[in-house]
Amino acid sequence: MDRLDELCRRLDRIEAALETLLSQQVQKDWYTTDEVAEILDKAPFTVREWCRLGRVDADKRASGRGSTQEWIISHEELQRIRNHGLLPLPTLRCFD
């Protein structure tokens, strides 16, 4: 009976671990700057600035609040940021 109890406890731990993994594996096609900020543990303002400066490959979409638009970031771009960091700042070209 002890082996059966141990097996039940192990199965309970495995089920709990699987539930945790499944809850973390939610993948979206597109993320808002607020969602990316939370995932990367940054401020939403910081992520918006990265988008504005071209440090992140992001697109604009209608926000549902009149004519304003908001930045959205693809899942692939989020993975690129996690693995390789931000894009370099664009260089300024001066003309004489």
Please give the pLDDT value at position 68.
Answer: 86
d(CA 57, CA 92): 18
* The model scores a pTM over 0.85: no
Total residue length of the chain? 96
CATH code for the part of the protein at 28-88: 1.10.1660
Query: 30, 73 in Cβ contact below 8 A?
Result: yes
Report the C-alpha gap between 35 and 32 in whole angstroms. Answer: 5
Contact status, residue 56 vs residue 74, Cβ threshold 8 Å: no
Helix/strand/coil for 61: strand
Residues of the chain under the 70 pLDDT cut: 25-26, 95-96
